Amino acid sequence: MARVALATCAAFPVADEDQPLLVSALAELGIDAVPAVWDQGESAIDEAELVIVRSTWDYTERLGAFLDWVASLPAVANPMEAIRWSSDKRYLDDLGAQGIPVISTSYPSGAEDLVLPDAERVVVKPSVGAGSIGAERFEVADRGAILRHVDLLSARGRQAMVQPYLEAVDVAGETAVISIDDRPAHAVAKAALLDRRELDRSGLFLTESITARAASASELAVAAAALEVAHLITGVRAPFLYSRVDLLPGPDGPVVVELELIEPSLFLTHAPSTARLLAAAVAARLGD
C-alpha cells in the first residue's frame, strides 16, 4: 500500500477537521495517510512516498527551521518553491505588479514610515502569520494604537502590514476559493473575523464562521489569474496540489487578500467531494 504523510504540528498531532475526510478518501484509493508532526522526527515522514503539508500552523514562529525542513524532503506538496514564496504575505506586491487586483498594503517598521490609507479603519497584521493571529483592527484616527501594534510586531521580529478595512466585508464576508490541481473545487464564505472581539486569541488560529458559497464569475477569474502569476513567479510548472485564494469585496470588484499554498484549511466538511478530488490528485502524483 502506498503511504503519504500528512504533516501537522504538535498542537494538532492527530488531525484537523479536514484530515478525516482526506484520510478516508485516500484509503479508498489504496493509500495509507498518516498524520505526523513536522518537527519531531517522526518515522512516518521518512517512510512516506510523499509528504503533504497540511496543518503545520506553528511554522510562523520558526519560519527558517520550517523552510529548511521542507527543503530536506525528497517529495513534498506543494513544492518547496511555492511554500517559500507563499510563506510571507509580501507576495501581494508580486501579484499586484503582475496586474492582479490585491488589497492595498504597506509595510511600516515604525513611526517614520507609517502611512495610513484613506479609510475609516485599518487592519494591522504580520506578513508571516497564520490563522489571523496577530491581526487587529483599528480606527484610522487612533494612530497611536496602530503604531503600538506595529512596534509590538516589530519587537517580535515580525514585519507589520497595514491594510484598509474594506467595510463591505461586514455584509458580504470574505470568499475563499479552494482549488485542486489549479481547478476550482468549491468556495466558502468567511464572516468578518476582526469584528468579533470576544474571540479567543490565545491559540494558533481564530475560530471562523464558515458557510458554503458559490463563487462569482469575477471571483473565480481573479483566483485563476492569481494562480497563474504564482506559477510564473515560483517557477512551478505543474499544477499546485491544493490552493486557497481569499478574496475581499473591493469597490471595483474582488481583491486578493491571501494566496495560500502552504497549509490552508480547505474546509472539506463543507464539500466532501473536494476530499475525493484531492485524493485523486495525490494518487496521480504517486503514480507518476
Q: What is the pLDDT of residues 105-118, one digit of tens each?
A: 999 998 889 989 89
The domain limits of the chain are 2-80, 91-101+168-265, 111-164
- Check residue 198 and give its pLDDT: 38
- Check residue 15 and give its pLDDT: 66
Does the structure show a pLDDT above 80 at 70?
A: yes
CATH 3.30.470.20 given to domain 91-101+168-265: yes
Most confident of 55-64, 205-214, 253-262: 253-262
Does the structure show a pLDDT above 60 at 238?
A: yes
Pick the range with the lowest mean pLDDT from 60-64, 148-152, 167-171, 204-208. Answer: 204-208
Mean residue pLDDT across the chain: 91
Closest to 159 measured CA to CA, from 87, 81, 248: 87
- Check residue 16 and give its pLDDT: 79
pTM over 0.85: yes
- Check residue 199 and give its pLDDT: 36
The model's pLDDT over 172-214, given as tens digits with 9 standing for 90+, comes to 889 999 999 999 999 999 876 554 443 333 444 455 678 899 9
